[in-house]
Amino acid sequence: MLIAAAVDFSGQGWDSGARDRMAATLTLGLGGRVSAGSEHDALLFHRPPPHIAARPVRASNGDAMLFAGQIHDRAGLRERLGIESGRPIQDAELYACAHAALGEDCDRIVIGCYAAIALGSAAQELRAVRSPLNPPPLYWWREGSRLIVASTPRVMFAAGNRAEIDWIHFDNCQLLNARDLSRSWYRGISRVEPGQSIRWTPSGDHRHRFWSAHDLPRVNLPHDEDYPEAARELMLRATREMLADFRRPGIMLSGGLDSQAVAASMLDVLPPGQDLPSYTRVPEPGFTGEGSDRQIFDESGYVRALARMYPRLRPQFIHPGGQDFGKALQETFLLGSAASMAAANMPWIDAICVKAAQDGCDVLLNGQNGNAGFSYKAQPAIAEWMRQGRWLRVFRELRNFRDDRSQLRRMLYYAILPNLPPSIQRGILLRAGSGRGQPFESWSAMRADHAAETGAIERSLANGFDPHFLPMSCAVEERMLMFDSGAGDAADIWLAQQLKSGLQFRDPTAYRPLVEFCFGIPAEQFRRDGVDRRLARRMLEGRVPEAVRQETRVGFQCADWPLSFARMRGELLKDLRRMGANPEIARRIDCERLTRDLERWDGDASREAAERILLAVSRAVTAGRFVDYVEGRNL
């Protein structure tokens, strides 16, 4: 769960109290015991999940190995490495064997969601790596001969590194730019990126990108019906792998295709007679919203329908119980060393984790990456088909597209506009009066003048994220945008949840063979003749309720937000006044606009109100409180 290594390439080592201070930062929250040791003056730390015993691992080549996460497809890897099937072996040892045998190529072969650190036998080389999809966090800091690599920046602070805000990352977060994957909330502390290994020596570092979605092979099966069948089998394999280490799983379950697919697969995989507790967020009492033609506010009906199909499913319905998002921020800051830009979701996630832990669960599965994989909508495929000259396919698709625009306007918006330069796209949308082209008047708390002065928009575009949300023209880039959003601060927030609850979290929809299959198959498998998420809808026929399979609306799991924000209004206004007195924050966050919006808000739940209050205010206040936490003003 937590790993760390501290090296001084000069051989001077660390002061006498450094080991104890660093180890102490890893004891926070729930988990196994911290193991602390030393190798040639390097300090090594490991804290496993509660169900795994901590023990040091050494590879056959002499490297000391630290491992966090989970390896999948273990049997195949053992066979490839020549490890007899009867010998018990933990993931850390298995990875050490793979690294010793395969060297830098090992991470192309090893399948899993993990982070690892390898210390060379003479402590003159250190290697760190994160798997490409859904990996746990891993940070690094180097100053002169000293290097620390750790699951959490707290270890760097214990070694004497001063915690200072990286204001570029602050700005990135207010624009939802999660594509700068090497940057963290702290100045001078970087992340190891997903799908990357870094090797440090006294003379410098070498970075190796071992996985890229753009390099995946194409997958073409003989018959159209082969695709959903293959996806079903891969989902079952994924679920078996995620459950391999646990005895009492549960699931975070909604009414959508992704988590319902995971639930159906879990019930196929679990031993006969074992029930499956599920936990579903529902609106708190007093909320009267009824949804819309685009959104579902209460998904409990679809969960109950799934339970009628599968009597072993034991649904439980959870609401935040009057808890507002500000209550648990300090604990999340401490355990996760990051601020979530989706803090309004934290109360109900906390409530689900508390209930699941009380019920004796040791792992919660979810389907959070399904939209980038098996249930992908593939809207950019229309622009890609246009570039390829497949105009008949474009016309047929747009004729059946679920959209109120005329056929000509659909052609302009989905087929032609995405293929134009971004500056022209933005100009067209602004002239058309599209609010999506004006983030500083709606969902972003950033000051427009600050964005212009610092080039924040241009930096975001250079990172591969467009804060104007222009229609994308590349399906691979859109899908990697979804995965990347979970590999930065979101990975830290999930780590904080694990430390708070003692639970582990697993996502079968991030299983690498399933994701690579979905990236490789033709776009028509995801969108054809007006049917989006076509692969998911076909593979789930007969496995989830038909109403779920045919649903085109999306769940809104914070639909009752006006109740909590009305309770918090005075507190939030106080936050904004305090932020306005901080020069660094005030030059970035438009506190005056947010204050005005919050004071004038009459409690309505319109889309405009949700953008200005739920999104902009909550993100600004969360970031402001995190700055206070880092700078020590509210300890």
pLDDT tens for each residue of 433-492: 554 557 998 999 999 999 999 999 999 999 999 998 888 999 999 999 999 988 999 999
Name residues whose C-beta falls within 8 Å of residue 189's C-beta, 6 or more positions apart in sequence. 139, 140, 141, 153, 156, 161, 166
Q: What is the mean pLDDT of residues 43-64?
A: 79
Under the banding of pLDDT at 50, 70 and 90, the label for residue 54 is low
| C-alpha closest to that of 538 among 555, 521, 554, 563 | 521
Please report the pLDDT score of residue 433 as a whole number. 59
For residues 86 and 266, which has the higher predicted lDDT (pLDDT)? Answer: 266
Burial class (CB in 10 A: 0-12, 13-18, 19+), 581: exposed
Least confident interval from 50-54, 259-263, 605-609: 50-54
> Distance (Å, rounded) from C-alpha 147 to C-alpha 122?
15
Mean pLDDT of 508-513: 98
Q: Is 368 helix (H, G, I), strand (E, B) or coil?
A: coil
The residue-averaged pLDDT of 404-408 equals: 84
Q: Which tens digits make up the pLDDT trace of 120-152?
A: 877 789 999 999 999 999 999 999 999 999 999
Cα–Cα distances in angstroms (integers) from residue 491 to residues 44, 66, 317, 415, 606, in the given order = 22, 19, 25, 35, 31
Q: Pairing mode, if any, of strands 363-365 and 504-506?
A: parallel
Average pLDDT over residues 86-95: 88
pLDDT value at residue 403: 79
Q: How confident is the model at residue 423 (pLDDT cuts 50, 70, 90)?
A: confident
pLDDT of residue 635: 43
Find how far residue 150's CA is from the centre of its chain.
19
| 190: pLDDT strictly greater than 50 | yes
Q: For residue 438, what pLDDT is reported?
A: 76
How confident is residue 634, by pLDDT bands cut at 50, 70 and 90?
low
Nearest to 592 by CA among 614, 573, 606: 573
| Mean pLDDT within 529-541 | 95
Query: What is the structure's pLDDT at 379?
Result: 93
pLDDT for 51 equals 67
Instruction: Please choose, from the candidates 72, 113, 376, 374, the residue with its C-alpha nearest in 3D space to the C-alpha of residue 239.
Output: 72
Q: Quick one: pLDDT at residue 49? A: 87
Q: Within a 10 A sphere around the Cβ of 511, how many other Cβ atoms?
A: 29
